[in-house]
Structure 1
Amino acid sequence: MMWTLLVTPFTEFAFMQRALAGALMLSLSACPVGVFLTLRRMSLTGDAMAHAILPGAAAGFLIFGLEIWPMTLGGLIAGALVALGAGAVARLTVQHEDASMAAFYLISLSVGVVMVSLRGSSVDLMHVLFGTVLALDDAALLLIGLVLAVTALAFCVLWRALVAECLDPLFLRSVSGWGTVVHFAFLGLVVLNLVAGFQALGTLLSVGLMILPAAAARFWTQSVLPMVALAVGIGALSSASGLLLSYHLSLPSGPAITLSAGAAYLLSVIFAPRGLLVPRLPRRSHRTA
């Protein structure tokens, strides 16, 4: 019975195998990026960037239809422009980066929805906004795999600088001239992983697999490397359980994955060592005779 519920869907159906492979690769790639977003208190920046890629993806859709590479390239260009524009406004004016990022992403989201609506149907709009993880093809899996490889290489090269910037960005800038470079390189990784998740989870939900497992992992440990490993594990488990819920209950696959990650987050909030319940439990005092 348990085998039929948990394993059979992935052994009998090729579309479930592709969906699981894509979601697991996204977990390996996006969840570590989400950990650094949460540590840098930039979680909402990730959400803003997820909306910012929409106009570029919509432009690719208008010209080429639902083709992955044009939409991916358009999303990368749009995300990079928004990140650079918001950063420039924050550094050259009195406005803080969170406000400029919010302004840019609201404009981008509105422009993207209008662009998709000009040519596509409501079905196309839903595909762009919420993704189709059960329809991943070889091109989509190749894209996700490439982004995973680039992300892994970037973390190997930039790991110490990223950790230092999370702990004390002013110190990194004072001892090295690479602070700004590391910051924008990290934003580039955010955009890359959001674009990779775009085909599977859509522009509105691709950030969910990035942020929710990372936010959940932070309740269990304070060390960065264990936090990354735990976030990847939570992301992988959420992906598999979300796909199973989608298969057995006929739910939309992207929202089901995000809801599974949300459930892991809520359980961590309540039961984790750094959550609501455990720190408030009475502790036994050890008395010596």
Structure 2
Amino acid sequence: MYPSYPYYSSQFTCEQSPLSFPPQKQNRQPGIESIMVPRPIFDNPNYVGSGKLQDKVAIITGGDSGIGRAVAVGFAKEGANVVIVYLYEDSDAEETKQAVESYGGRCLLIRGDLRHEAVSIQTVQHTLAAFGKIDILVLNQAVQFPQNCITNISTEQLLNTYQTNIFPHFFMTKAALPFLAPGSAIISTASITAYQGNKELVDYSSTKGAVVSFTRSLSLQLADKCIRVNAVAPGPIWTPLIVSSYSEQEVATFGLNTPMKRAGQPFELAPTYIYLASDDSKYVSGQVLHVNGGSITET
């Protein structure tokens, strides 16, 4: 059974969430959730599903941990089956599968590097073989490599960031689109950095700007097919990507610069993805919803 956390309670308030984190550093991205201190909170036990995604099938890239894990669990609560695509984090993926199954959902794990288009094609094939259809596509994979000067961004880093953060949006959508029926939904994870920028994340921020433009343009292209395309732009969220990309000192103060003076937890994003995946948002497409602790963004 997946672990419980001290911040789970019927009286959960933002004051109970950690305001700062112990200094820590992981050396490989996207990172391992199971060794983070404290563990990210991916499930709100007070959230009770109402069948909004009953019998739907969702592919979630980067679904083994962080925001992707919270979305997978939230979808399962609403009656969906999920396919999780992840890079190397086997133990995290298995834990997410257990959490999904504990809520009655079926979960297919697919290990692969989404920088290669063949992985997207194989993912769609495996999904159809297991579930016979695809209803929801959540594009959530990402890496980030802070650099204090653009001259420090190597060609290798630039290619890796773009090939991870935006190319799979095209690969997965192209592979899945022939099997998406009217009423299907595509949801991307953008970022507050697409709107506010980040002086240490020039390449990452620009890929997230590309995600926003991808969302808006694809929504126009697929409107006649009645397929909705939207995105979520998180602010600072406590995920493995943070401890695998920032220094120990930066981790210790992560999220303190938001109006709420804290980082968000993954479970606080899940209802936004559920909304965009369900019929509650039937008249919403080409939009980006901001979940960022109160930061003001220009849309």
- TM bucket (normalised to shorter chain) is under 0.3
Looking at CA atoms only, which structure, 1 or 2, has the larger radius of gyration? 1
Tell me the TM-score normalised to structure 2 length: 0.26
Alignment TM-score, normalising by the size of structure 1: 0.26
The structure richer in strand per residue is 2
